Amino acid sequence: MKRAAVFGLIFLWAGAGCLSVGGADFVFPPCSKPWGAMYAPVEIGALRYGMSGIVTYARHSNMAGFLQELDEARRNQVRLLVTLGSVSVAPFYHQPSRTFDAAGYYAQEVAPFFREPDGREALRNSLQEGILWGFRFLDEPHDRQNDIQNTVTTDRRAYPHAMEPAQFAELLNLFEQDLRGLMAAGGSPSPEEDLPLLRLGTTSPPDYMNLVRPFCRHPHLFAYVGYRWPSAQPPEEMFRDWGDYASENNLSLVGSLNSSSSVVDDAVFFETMIWLCGYPRVHFATSWDWGRVQSPGAKSFQQRMDGLFSGNRWLWMLLMLRCRLCL
């Protein structure tokens, strides 16, 4: 009876009294640190699994889908980290000259979002309401083994298949220019003022993004660190190391547990996720990815969440408490 009573109090606290009748859908209170999974359905992720932050993928050829995700995020108090445009580099990277056609990529993949009247309005409103945590461009520009033969050396290591940081920064600058024009057209901010807090970056570690910073006009950049089991280095040690580095260099940090490629017990996985959500130098906690299984013996994030939800409610509630209430 005592255990049931404690469980009930925790349940009401985490759910804030918003349990839907006859189902397992909850409306959780807002949280300062987004957490969730890459490419999870926004509304399902929020209502069934309590996610407060989701990494999405938007293409201008599916503008209607992007607008729907923004609307679902707004209604469910979910913050989005949006992958904008194709993550492929190859069509726009010229290996002989080692140059990236940032303007060509931008014109094809990103600029159309600003030309659609509905898209412009939705972007402006979502920025003003704080729905958009950030935008991600390309995929791992520090490590393009199939596309780039170019070495970039940071203060930590050499990346032999990396885009030059200045070339990646050119893409971010083009976006920042259109973003500032969009917000100015809506009456805020003036050209001299800062944009609403919005982070720009990619799935590259902090040492690479630190080289991007000097070439980038936008003040708020993020870096990304992913962890995969098995590994010789404990996850807490790795995230602390990169978290310290990111903090010292004024970078926000996205921390990811790579569910789809990790062979690890669900309890260990979620205990680490709980820790990650409580670690202050990770600003967005996620997992790659929602529905895919990449390695034998691994599980998708959805499979792990379904198992946790049905088999270990105590750990699930602790996850909710840590992630949604930021204890």
Rounded to whole angstroms, how far apart are CA atoms 259 and 266? 9
Most confident of 3-12, 27-36, 254-263: 254-263
CA contacts within 13 A on the Cβ side of 205:
22
Angle between helices 313-325 and 2-15 in degrees, nearest 10: 30
> What architecture is domain 27-325?
Alpha-Beta Barrel (3.20)
Backbone angles phi, psi at 42, to 5 degrees: -60, -55
* Residues of the chain above pLDDT 90, percent: 66
pLDDT digits (tens, 9 = 90+) for 153-204: 999 999 999 999 999 999 999 999 999 999 887 655 554 456 778 999 999 9
Q: What DSSP designation does 291 have? A: S
Q: Are 210 and 168 in contact (CB under 8 A)?
A: no
**Given pLDDT bands bounded at 50, 70 and 90, which one contains residue 305?**
confident
Q: How far is CA 274 from CA 109, 146, 185, 219, 285, in A?
A: 36, 35, 41, 29, 10
pLDDT score for 22: 35
Give all strands (DSSP E) within the chain, no chain letters.
53-58, 79-84, 93-94, 99-100, 132-136, 152-153, 158-159, 199-201, 221-227, 252-257, 284-287
**Given pLDDT bands bounded at 50, 70 and 90, which one contains residue 307?**
confident
Report DSSP letters for 63-131, one per residue: HHHHHHHHHHHHHHT-EEEEEES----GGGEETTTTEE-HHHHHHHHTTHHHHSHHHHHHHHHHHHHT-
Calculate mean pLDDT across residues 275-292: 93
pLDDT score for 285: 96
pLDDT score for 311: 64
pLDDT score for 226: 97
Q: Is the dihedral of CA 247, 243, 285, 161 positive or negative?
A: positive
Q: Which of 207, 223, 202 is nearest to 152 (CA)?
A: 207
Q: Are 42 and 69 in contact (CB under 8 A)?
A: yes
Q: Which of 262, 313, 319, 254 is nearest to 285 (CA)?
A: 254
Is the model's pTM score more than 0.85? yes
Task: Show the tokens assigned to 301.
Answer: 């994030």
Q: What DSSP designation does 51 have? A: -
Rounded to whole angstroms, how far apart are CA atoms 321 and 208? 34
CA 223 from chain centre, in angstroms, equals 10
Domain ranges of the chain: 27-325
Q: How far is CA 28 from CA 20, 51, 72, 128, 130, in A?
A: 11, 9, 14, 22, 17
**Given pLDDT bands bounded at 50, 70 and 90, which one contains residue 260?**
very high
pLDDT for 23 beyond 60: no
Q: Are 308 and 316 in contact (CB under 8 A)?
A: yes
